[in-house]
């Protein structure tokens, strides 16, 4: 019997029906290209986020940091703890638990600023919280991982790639800082860059889904527990962020702002850190979680915004719907659009 038709053309050794084929470098090359493109696009997104920060208003919030302190407690207290509780409760793999925790430690992105604008939130607080959480993630993410992954690290189940995670976080500080400088010097150009960055963020999510689906095909066989965690996690963030802000005595419009800043995580950052930090074998079981979280955080955010808009229409002007006009120490909500020109429609 001839095996000529059985063996492939590029086989190096053939013995009966068994063939040895050289390992393909396609996936390795594609992985390197994906990591490079993700890093560049993420840098552009973070640069555009920096272009949304007005230094004077940012420093003003730093002088009265109560709102930012509440946001910090939500971002690096509630979210990592909730990620740990969900990981233990649903008994996910150690590497999956690490990715859930990374998601919980990620700062908010430009999406949270847009949502805060749509619900008449405190735009200055939203942008300041996003900026602070992005800068503080440099130290807080490794610290939270050190605290919450101890049970898996001590048992030898997982090794946390702190060096890769740290490198990814350091790379964020530079474009954010440059963006803040650009907004200070050339505010009109910064608005254009902000819109470009929003488009880049959308492209980044699509790119991660498409190319990741090619590279890590088995990752799409998703364990039901990850779907459940991806559903509960953002809702818990929105709810607990709102409640904690209210308990801290914040006015209603700031409660809405803190809620979105807490639950709306920078999934592009999480995906990039995961891609740069873990091996292909580990990525096969964790790569899709940031995408799952992204789907549900946007879905629930859309529901909450829809409820808020419907409530406003049913109860007239925003000042009449809640007693926040008496509590606000800052500008009225009806003028919140003036606080952030980056999200205004272009005047014709």
SS (H, E, C) 73-125: HHHHHHHHHHHHHHHHHCCCCHHHHHHHHHHHHCCCCHHHHHHHHHCCCCHHH
Mean predicted confidence (pLDDT) in 234-240? 95
335 pLDDT higher than 80: no
Are the CB atoms for 194 and 50 separated by under 8 Å? no
Q: What pLDDT shows up at residue 315?
A: 79
- Neighbour count for residue 54 (Cβ, 10 Å): 21
Mean predicted confidence (pLDDT) in 216-226? 71
330 pLDDT higher than 80: no
Exposed/middle/buried for residue 130 (C-beta within 10 Å: 0-12, 13-18, 19+) = buried
27 pLDDT higher than 50: yes
Written out in words, the top-level CATH class of the domain with range 31-316 is: mainly alpha
Q: What pLDDT shows up at residue 290?
A: 86
Q: What pLDDT shows up at residue 212?
A: 63
80 pLDDT higher than 90: yes
CA distance 157 to 114: 40
Q: What pLDDT shows up at residue 243?
A: 94
Mean predicted confidence (pLDDT) in 153-170? 74
Bigger pLDDT: 152 vs 219: 152
Task: Give the chain's length.
Answer: 348
By mean pLDDT, which of 6-15, 104-113, 255-264, 276-285 is the weakest?
6-15
223 three-class SS = coil
Are the CB atoms for 273 and 35 separated by under 8 Å? no
CA 91 → CA 15, 61, 77, 298, 310, distances in Å? 45, 40, 21, 26, 39
Mean predicted confidence (pLDDT) in 71-92? 92
* Dihedral angle computed from the Cα positions of residues 224, 285, 173 and 244, in that order, rounded to the nearest 10 degrees: 20
Helix pair 79-89, 224-247: axis angle to 10 deg: 150
């Amino acid at each position: 019997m001839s095996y000529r038709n059985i063996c492939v053309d590029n086989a190096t050794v053939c013995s009966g029906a068994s063939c040895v084929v050289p390992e393909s470098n396609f996936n390795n090359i594609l992985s390197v290209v994906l990591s490079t493109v993700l890093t560049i696009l993420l840098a552009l997104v973070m640069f555009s986020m920096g272009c949304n920060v007005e230094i004077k208003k940012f420093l003003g919030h730093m002088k009265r940091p109560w709102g930012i302190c509440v946001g910090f407690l939500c971002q690096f207290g509630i979210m990592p703890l909730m990620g740990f509780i969900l990981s233990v409760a649903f008994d996910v793999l150690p590497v999956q638990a690490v990715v859930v925790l990374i998601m919980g430690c990620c700062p908010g992105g430009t999406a949270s600023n847009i949502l805060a604008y749509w619900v008449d939130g405190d735009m200055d607080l939203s942008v300041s919280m996003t900026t602070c959480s992005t800068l503080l993630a440099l130290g807080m993410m490794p610290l939270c991982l050190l605290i919450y992954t101890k049970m898996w690290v001590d048992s030898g189940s997982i090794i946390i790639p702190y060096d890769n995670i740290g490198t990814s976080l350091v790379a964020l500080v530079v474009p954010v800082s440059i963006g803040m400088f650009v907004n200070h010097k050339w505010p009109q150009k910064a608005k254009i860059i902000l819109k470009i960055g929003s488009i880049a963020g959308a492209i980044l999510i699509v790119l991660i889904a498409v190319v990741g689906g090619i590279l890590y095909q088995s990752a799409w066989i998703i364990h039901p527990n990850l779907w459940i965690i991806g559903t509960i996690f953002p809702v818990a963030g929105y709810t607990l962020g709102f409640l904690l802000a209210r308990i801290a005595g914040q006015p209603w419009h700031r409660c809405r702002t803190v809620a979105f800043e807490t639950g709306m995580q920078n999934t592009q950052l999480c995906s990039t850190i995961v891609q740069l930090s873990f091996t292909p074998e580990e990525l096969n079981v964790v790569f899709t979680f940031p995408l799952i979280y992204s789907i549900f955080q946007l879905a629930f955010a859309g529901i909450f915004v829809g409820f808020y808009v419907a409530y406003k229409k049913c109860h007239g002007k925003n000042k009449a719907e809640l007693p926040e006009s008496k509590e606000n120490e800052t500008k009225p909500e009806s003028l919140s659009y003036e606080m952030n020109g980056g999200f205004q429609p272009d005047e014709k």
